[in-house]
Structure 1
Amino acid sequence: METLLKINNIINEFIWGPPVLILLLGTGLFLAIRTKFIIYRRFGFIAKNTFGKIFDKKEASEGSVTPFQAVSTALAGTVGTGNIAGVATAISLGGPGAVFWMWLAAIIGMTTKFAEITLAVATREKNEKGEWAGGPMYYIKNGLKIPWLSKIFSFLGCLAPLGVGAMVQSNSISDALNASFYIPTWITGIVIGILAFIVIVGGIKRIGQFAEKVVPFMAVVYIIGGIIILIIERNQISVALRAIFTDAFTGTAATGGFAGSTVAMAIRWGVARGIFTNEAGLGTAPIAHSASDIDHPVRQGIWGAFEVFMDTILVCSITALVILTSGLWTDPELKGASLTTAAFNSAFAGGGYIVAVGIALFAFTTLIGWSYYGEKCFEFFVGSNKLTIPYRILYIVLSFIGSIGGLSMVWGIADTLNGLMAIPNLIGILGLSGVVVKLTKDFFKDPDRIRSKDKDWSEFFRNKE
């Protein structure tokens, strides 16, 4: 087992190291150029048709969810402990400059996620239950015509959630509630299992209904708490921003207990944590977006750009500024979530409770979101949705085991599997970049026109550029 873990650490270092991170950023930049930077040129339109329509009431047809329920499900899987602990890790290892590179990765990642979601909706299929199913495995199979590569993605995609989604998230919840409210981990585990069962057993319809209510609430609570702290520490905001932009290109000198960091370290940790939090290019979010009741793939794709903006530019930035304005980031004893908690507590008594509740809500919604990713990948891998019930049961059981700290050695392996999913996904996106361009042109020549929801998009995959 020790040898296995060493091998995993080496692979993990590669997956979340410079080669794959460069590939992820390069793919986003390549797509941005090919689409003529449409995501940034039409950002006003995107904001109006995503954030501006959050409260529009509509019902989805049978076997699908509304566009907002789809993005809420994806955000449930995306907005998680990485927004709290991941950002703190980036700063403690890469210095304030890491935040700049995290922002840059998010800006580029907006196009990547737009592209993968657009492709997922254009290649989705109806399963035996009449539900929409899609994601990288479908556009690799139906678009690239490489079935074996789609099987590799789905295999990784049904294993990774058992660790990253079920066990790690439930452990984060139980640890946070035990540390702040002294709730025994086994009690938390039972509650998580019951709540997860209630939501997951209802399939995508119930997951979407749950996500559209909880995700906005948890985001608003955390953001408001962060803004209150930034108002209290408003005199330090300009200092924090100056450090972010200066240290991004000069590195950070040793100060206090901080050992110092180079520009390379700032880039490495900023980009890695940025991609880890918003998952642009990893191929997970398109699985949720594929269930949307939408008339054009690009119309759902722009929700992906909004998703990255919401996750990293907004939520992660709140965390980063609270940490930097507190001055506690130089304390070598504070790491990850403990650093964020200390930073919130430094502004006012009880500020750490915001972090504890935030971790609990963020982690639980991530647990729910990843259950759907794993289920759909498992369904594709075995070629049927008739075995999804056993998968759901296994997922819930592992959620309880994770909450009491069991099988910790699988967490690093699951993280590696999560990263490995990016490779076949990026191959699919790059190979189908011409299709993304054609679909984007088709949509934006008349973006306000509503198309038929039953349209066959296969014509766009003929004679791929």
Structure 2
Amino acid sequence: MKGLFDILLAISNWIWGIPMLVLLVGGGVIITVYLGFFQFRHLGYILKQTFGRMFQKSEGDGSVSAFQAATAALASSIGAANIVGVPVAVATGGPGAIFWMWMTALVGCATKFAEISLAIKYREKEGENFVGGPMYYLKHSPIPAFGTLFAFFLMIELVPSIATQALSFTQTAETIGIPPIAAAAVLAICVALVVFGGIQKIASFTEKLVPFMALLFILGGLAVILANVTHLPAAFLSIFENAFTPTSAIGGFAGSTVAAGIRNGMSRGAYSNEAGMGTSAIAHATATTDHPGRQAIWGTFEVFVDTIIVCTITGLAILVTNTWTQVETAQAASMPSVAFQSLLGPTIGGGIVTISILLFVLSTIIVVTYYGERQGSFLFGPKFGVFMRCVYIASIFAAILLDLSTLYQFLDLMLACLIVPNMIGLLLMLPEVKEIKDDFVKRENLE
């Protein structure tokens, strides 16, 4: 068994080196250039149409509002990876990993635009609801088999993904005295109560939950950063220095190479904001909208909130408090809790992180369970989709028996299996994306 794990680890480490750097970052750069640097040139318009119009009624066809679709997608992307994935990346790749998270996010904005615009263009009606995502638009790519490959690998990948989310919560809950089995049981019950209500109930739930949970964690993180503001310049310096130079061992940190920083920064960044994975396009495909480009700009909004705001706050909190050098790699999940407790004490600090992780994990598992159900239905029919829904809920309990670092290694490998067909398919379909973007720019008089 150890030999098999070593082989999988070697494959995962290789693919998340140069190959994924070329595909994710290089592919994102190609999409960015091909779309005329859309996410940079029209950032003001994008923020005005998203932050500025969150609660306005959407026009057009769809199953849920544009904001509900975006919050459902955000509920998936803002998860344990934002609180736990960041310290895991820093613990194994050094502070420079945060730089590579940022790079992945900046070009990922264009990738998200491409995914969502194609998801709206090729979505289908199933009963009263719209359904779509990479498995649908890849059917119309030059390599139609990519749609089936994506659906299969996503269906499998969500088992370790949900287990990782659940384990992140149970580990953090344990720091304030909650037994892992009790934490897993509460999580499973909450998930089951929502996911059996369908996409409308999920969208309604996330619409209310996402703004609250994000604000709670952001305010707590900002308090920690401001209390240690004198260490902020050094924190930024370590991020930029260690992005291109090895990080020496210090305290509980064992040291890392530049390659480890790139690998962990990109993989955790991709897992966090989902740009290149295509998963958030599944939620956006249900949105009420009058143009694919209008819903696609919510993708830039998602990446901005998820990585540039939430992940950065997590990273800075553990750097300015020096927590990343004090906590062993095996316990990296507890770093944010330790950082918050250094200012706010065990009850308030630990409580904020525990509640935030519960809400982040709960929202993520609810939405990705829907994603997985859609893959099962796409491949084998609606009944199999319901079966997979039950499998995902059961995987919450399996998490308490597993190791976080082991789970992340397997998750990275499965993640790559999603990204490869999706990114290649997007690059092959770029002319269609540009056509959608150009039509939207002309329609909104942005030139």
TM over 0.5: yes
SS in 2 for 1:292: coil
Residue of structure 2 equivalent to 1:463:
none
In the other structure, the counterpart of 1:98 is: 97
Give the structure 1 partner of residue 17 of structure 2. Answer: 17
* Contact in 2 for aligned 1:21/1:272 (Cα 8 Å): no
Name 2:365's counterpart in structure 1: 367
Shift of 1:387: 3.5
Change (3 A) 1:264 1:391: closer
Report 1:21-170 matches (<5 A).
Answer: 21-56=21-56, 64-127=63-126, 129-141=127-139, 143-165=140-162, 167-170=163-166
1:320-339 mapped onto 2 (5 Å cutoff): 320-331=315-326, 333=328, 335-339=331-335
Residue-by-residue CA offset, 1:173-198 (whole Å, 9 max, x unaligned) = 23322321x22333333322222121
Asked whether the equivalents of residues 171 and 334 of structure 2 are also in contact (C-alpha less than 8 Å), the reply is no
C-alpha distance in structure 1 between counterparts of 2:179 and 2:66, whole Å: 38
Structure 2 partner of 1:381:
379
Residues in 1 aligned to 2:108 and 2:49: alpha-carbon distance in whole angstroms? 19
Question: Which amino acid in 1 is paired with 2:227?
Answer: I
Match of 2:292 in 1: 297
In structure 2, the partner of 1:355 is: 353
The verdict on how the C-alpha distance between 1:88 and 1:168 changes in structure 2, with shifts beyond 3 A counting, is closer
Query: Which letter does structure 1 place at the counterpart of 2:54?
Result: I
Q: Deviations over 1:55-103 (max 9, x none)?
A: 3356996x61111111111111111111122211222333323222221
Q: Distance in 1 between matches of 2:294 and 2:363?
A: 24
Q: Write out the 4+ residue segments of structure 1 that deviate beyond 6 Å after TM superposition.
A: 406-411
Q: Which amino acid aligns with 2:156?
A: L
Bigger shift: 95-104 or 52-61?
Answer: 52-61
* SS in structure 1 of the partner of residue 128 of structure 2: coil
* 1:196 correspondence with 2:191: yes
**Aligned twin of 1:319:** 314
Q: How far, CA to CA, are the matches of 1:363 and 1:327 in structure 2?
A: 25
Task: Give the equivalent residue in structure 2 for 1:275.
Answer: 270
SS of the aligned residue for 2:243 comes to helix
Which segment is superposed worse, 243-252 or 278-287? 243-252
1:332/1:228 Cα in 2 relative to 1: closer, same or farther (>3 Å)? closer
Query: Which of the residues 435, 439, 451 maps onto 2:436?
Result: 439
- Cα distance in 2 for residues equivalent to 1:82 and 1:120: 24
User: Match of 2:80, as an amino acid?
Assistant: T
Which ranges in structure 2 are unaligned for 5 or more consecutive residues? none
> How far did residue 386 of structure 1 move?
4.1
Q: 1:120 to 1:57 in 2, by over 3 A?
A: closer
- Pair 1:87–1:34, CA change in 2 (3 A): same
Contact 2:105–2:307, Cα closer than 8 Å, also in 1: yes
Q: Which amino acid in the other structure matches residue 96 of structure 1?
A: P
* Residues 1:230 and 1:236: Cα distance change in structure 2 (over 3 Å): same
Write the letter of the residue equivalent to 1:381. Answer: L
State the alpha-carbon separation in 1 of the partners of residues 270 and 408 from structure 2.
18
| CA displacement at 1:414 relative to structure 2 | 4.7
Distance across 2 between alignment mates of 1:287 and 1:126? 13
Q: Give 1:390 deviation, angstroms.
A: 2.3
Of 235, 239, 244, the match for 2:239? 244
Matching residue's letter, 1:205: Q
Note the 1:215-254 alignment, pairs <5 A.
Answer: 215-254=210-249
Find the aligned partners of 1:254 and 1:243 in 2 and give their Cα distance: 13
Alpha-carbon distance change, 282 to 244 in structure 1, aligned in 2, over 3 angstroms: same
Query: For this pair of structures, how many residues does the alignment match?
Result: 442
Question: Does structure 2 retain, via aligned residues, the 8 Å contact 1:173–1:364?
Answer: no
TM-score, normalised relative to structure 2: 0.92
Q: Deviations over 1:183-235 (max 9, x none)?
A: 23333333222221211011111111111111111100000001111221122
Say if 1:267 and 1:390 are closer, same or farther in 2 by CA, change over 3 A: closer
Whether the 8 Å CA contact 1:401–1:407 is kept in 2: the answer is no
Q: Structure 1, unaligned stretches of length 5 or more?
A: 450-465
Q: Deviations over 1:147-191 (max 9, x none)?
A: 3221111111212112212x22223223322321x2233333332
Report whether the alignment pairs 1:343 with 2:342.
Answer: no
Verify the 8 A CA contact 1:15 1:420 in the aligned structure 2: no
Q: Compute the displacement of 1:321 (Å).
A: 1.0
Q: Deviation of residue 361 (structure 1)?
A: 1.4
2:55 counterpart letter in structure 1: F
**Can you list the C-alpha shifts for 1:114-166, whole angstroms capped at 9, x where unaligned?**
11111111111112x2311111111111x21533221111111212112212x
Partner of 1:65, secondary structure, is coil
Instruction: Give the Cα–Cα distance (whole angstroms) in 1 for the partners of residues 182 and 350 of structure 2.
Output: 22
If the length of structure 1 is used for normalisation, what is the TM-score?
A: 0.88
Question: Structure 2: which amino acid aligns with 1:298?
Answer: G
1:460 is matched with: none
Deviation at 1:394, TM superposition (A): 2.5
Conservation of the 8 A alpha-carbon contact between 2:58 and 2:66: no
1:171 aligns with 2:167: yes
Sequence identity (%): 42
**Does 1:421 pair with 2:418?**
yes
Q: What is the distance in 2 between the residues matched to 1:123 and 1:92?
A: 41
2:206 and 2:15 map into 1 onto residues whose CA distance is 30
Please state whether the residue corresponding to 1:126 is helix, strand or coil. strand
Is the Cα–Cα contact under 8 Å of residues 99 and 320 in structure 1 kept in the other structure?
A: yes
CA distance in 1, matches of 2:190, 2:341: 29
User: For the structure 1 residues 139 and 6, does the alpha-carbon distance in structure 2 shift closer, same or farther, using more than 3 Å as the test?
Assistant: same
